[in-house]
Amino acid sequence: MTAAALEIEDVAVWFGGVHAVDGVSLSIAPGEVVGLIGPNGSGKTTLLDAISGQTRLTHGAVRLDGQDLAGRLPEARAKLGIVRSFQDCRLFPELSVEEVLLVSEDARRRVGLLSTTLHAPWARRAEHTKRAAVSEIIGAFGLDRYRDHRVQELSTGTRRVVDLAAIVLASPRLLLLDEPTAGIAQREAEAFVPLLRRIHEVTGATIVLVEHDVPLVFSLSSQVVVMETGRVASAGPPDMVKEDPAAVAAYLGASPEALARSGRLSDDD
């Protein structure tokens, strides 16, 4: 599967008198990593919801490889390769890590109940392929020692790694990541930089990343978009955005602690 091109044209999402997203236009090339930053309430997560189909547009258009997604439900968009993560890691707490990943793979490689019950040869092959894929992803993400642990027993950081492993199994063409480091310790957050970079290398997917850790966003992204009150305040390569007075006024200058949070952003970055 090839990376997808994403075009957002004059997108608006209004909730009554609240303009959560108000006239956003972006053009994202296949394989690009775009970071969305901005204060709480600036419309970042709502924009991801609009792209994935979780929220209906008030007006505007979202296009994947030139195809208008209007009227397509989230399930239909997922079949086109749009995969979205959520801040709260929506996993099954009572299942083990291996079981969660098997469920994720089941959603992609459905085998009929009758075929499974009758032990049809092709169903056995499909089951073998599914388990091999899950074992491979467990090894790739360093989750071997957690294979039989229930999700509810894991730390927040490890749960997020499991969530990302499930996302990779879905073979995304467009990956929408919403706050992958939210609620985890700084040391774990720093480990996510090489992990997310590796995910981009393995999947080749186009990535739109919403994240409050500004140094992480700047180190990973080819384009950074600063949002404020539902609009784009600044957009461009990281070095340009870092020096843009509009970006500084909208977010960077207002949150110096965000720039220092993971200690990875310097004048040489």
DSSP letter string, the chain:
-PPPPEEEEEEEEEETTEEEEEEEEEEE-TT-EEEEE-STTSSHHHHHHHHHTSS--SEEEEEETTEE-TT--HHHHHHTTEEE--TT----TTSBHHHHHHHHHHHHS---HHHHHTT-HHHHHHHHHHHHHHHHHHHHTT-GGGTTSBGGGS-HHHHHHHHHHHHHHT--SEEEEE-TTTTS-HHHHHHHHHHHHHHHHHH--EEEEE-S-HHHHHHH-SEEEEEETTEEEEEE-HHHHHH-HHHIIIIITT-HHHHHSSS---TT-
DSSP track, 14-57: EETTEEEEEEEEEEE-TT-EEEEE-STTSSHHHHHHHHHTSS--
By residue count, the chain amounts to 269
Q: Is there a contact between 60 and 185 (Cβ–Cβ < 8 Å)?
A: no
Give the whole-angstrom CA distance, residue 222 versus residue 36.
11
Asked if residue 118 and residue 73 are part of one domain, the reply reads no
- Supply the pLDDT for residue 94: 85
Residue 89 forms part of a structural domain? no
Which of residues 155, 170, 185 is at a domain's end? Answer: 170
- Supply the pLDDT for residue 90: 61
**What does the block give as tokens for 30?**
């296949």
Q: Is there a contact between 174 and 1 (Cβ–Cβ < 8 Å)?
A: no
Asked if residue 176 and residue 53 are part of one domain, the reply reads yes
Can you give the residue range of the structural domain that contains 261? Answer: 1-81+171-269
Asked if residue 56 and residue 136 are part of one domain, the reply reads no
Asked if residue 74 and residue 185 are part of one domain, the reply reads yes
Asked if residue 175 and residue 263 are part of one domain, the reply reads yes
Asked if residue 130 and residue 37 are part of one domain, the reply reads no
Give the whole-angstrom CA distance, residue 217 versus residue 34.
8
Asked if residue 181 and residue 68 are part of one domain, the reply reads yes
Per-residue pLDDT of the chain (269 residues; tens, 9 = 90+): 689 999 999 999 999 889 999 999 999 999 999 999 999 999 999 999 999 999 999 999 999 999 999 999 999 999 999 999 865 556 678 899 999 898 878 765 554 444 444 455 655 676 778 888 899 889 888 899 999 999 889 888 888 888 888 888 888 999 999 988 887 777 777 788 888 998 898 889 999 999 988 989 999 999 999 999 999 999 999 999 998 998 988 887 645 454 555 444 444 44
- Supply the pLDDT for residue 250: 82
**What does the block give as tokens for 255?**
């949150």
- Supply the pLDDT for residue 9: 98
Residue 10 forms part of a structural domain? yes
Residue 230 forms part of a structural domain? yes
